[in-house]
């Protein structure tokens, strides 16, 4: 799965948790989930759970703790996909 494919799917995972659909459409790797997309910390946990289900991966606490911007989310998800083979 390419980084772009992961991003495209991640947008779908994030969509229910943000009201700023315009910014969601134009997210970059620098987009901060909390500051830019106004996603609260409880919903951030929901996004991580949804991402685990979507990509069939398990995200450990340390990795989840890093998932504050889109680029880091892509890094973590990509690494977990590669780990599973």
Report pLDDT for 70: 96
Domain boundaries, the chain: 3-84
Q: What is the largest CA-CA distance in the chain?
A: 35
To the question of domain 3-84 being in CATH 1.25.10.10, the answer is: no
Cα–Cα nearest to 73, from 21, 20, 39: 39
d(CA 10, CA 8): 6
Cβ count within 10 A of residue 3: 13
Report pLDDT for 21: 82
pLDDT tens for the chain, 85 residues long, are 899 999 999 999 999 999 888 888 889 999 999 999 999 989 999 999 999 999 999 999 999 999 999 999 999 999 999 997 6
> Residue 35 in contact with residue 21, Cβ under 8 Å?
no
Report pLDDT for 35: 93
d(CA 30, CA 43): 19
- What number of residues does the chain have? 85
């Amino acid at each position: 799965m390419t980084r772009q494919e992961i991003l495209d799917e991640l947008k779908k995972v994030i969509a229910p948790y943000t009201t700023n659909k315009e910014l969601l459409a134009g997210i970059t790797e620098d987009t901060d989930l909390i500051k830019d997309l106004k996603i609260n910390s409880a919903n951030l946990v929901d996004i991580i759970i949804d991402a685990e289900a979507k990509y069939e991966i398990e995200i450990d606490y340390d990795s989840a703790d890093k998932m504050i911007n889109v680029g880091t989310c892509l890094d973590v998800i990509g690494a977990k996909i590669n780990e599973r083979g």
